[in-house]
Amino acid sequence: MRMMEEMILREGVVLPGGVLKVGSFLNQLIDPELLRASGEEIARLYDGAGVTKILTVEASGIAIAASAGVAMGVPVLFAKKHRSSNVDGDILSTPVHSFTHGTDYNMVVSRDYLTGGDVCLLVDDFLANGAAMRGMIELVRLAGARLAGAAVAIEKVFQGGGDALRKEGIRVEALGKIESMENGVIRFATAD
């Protein structure tokens, strides 16, 4: 999506270790036009896919997921991150290791909110190694729900998480696909 790529080029800051800082438009301060357009683009991409629910994970994925939910007219469920593995109640839970942050957590949703009849679209701000995405896929599996696919604001293609999922037959859409960020220069993947 042109608006996402232009914003990344204008505002994104490449940090050491292949991390892109997007706090001025996506992760902390949120640009309203970009948010609205991102939700509409995700809705356009998944039009006709029968999506009944959007699933994301706290915290930074919630805004774009909510925008997509408004555009698609479907509810948005966000998984919570619990440090402890013994979470009480009737929940679906799966362990996730974040390579980016070097942390472990349990991704948790209430069993009542994700059910066997759901067709889920996974939405997040970033797709890097794909650990968060795989956690959400496991929650969908545990619920017995169906997976329509995934949509992310920014995919860092060079980290391989997106292509690994595509090889497994999962539809993955990215609004900004970053091929490389070597020497601070951001290059986008060209359309297939």
Positions touching ligand G4P (CB under 6 A) are: 19-22, 27, 57, 59-61, 98-101, 125-132, 156, 161
State which residue, 13 or 117, has the beta carbon closest to ligand G4P: 13
State which residue, 79 or 148, has the beta carbon closest to ligand G4P: 79
What is the number of the residue whose Cβ is closest to ligand G4P?
A: 129
Which residues are bridge partners to 79 per DSSP? 57
Residues 155-174 as b/e (b if ≥16 CB within 10 A, e otherwise) read bbbebebbeebeeeebbbbb
State which residue, 26 or 143, has the beta carbon closest to ligand G4P: 26
CB of 97 to ligand G4P, least distance (A): 7
State which residue, 118 or 125, has the beta carbon closest to ligand G4P: 125
Name the residue type at position 114: L
CB of 79 to ligand G4P, least distance (A): 9
Name the residue type at position 54: I
**What is the spatial distance between Cα 163 and Cα 177, in angstroms, rounded to a whole number?**
11
Give Cβ neighbours of residue 119 (< 8 Å, ≥ 6 apart).
49, 50, 51, 52, 53, 145, 146, 147, 148
150 touches 123 (CB < 8 A): yes
CB of 19 to ligand G4P, least distance (A): 4
State which residue, 156 or 177, has the beta carbon closest to ligand G4P: 156
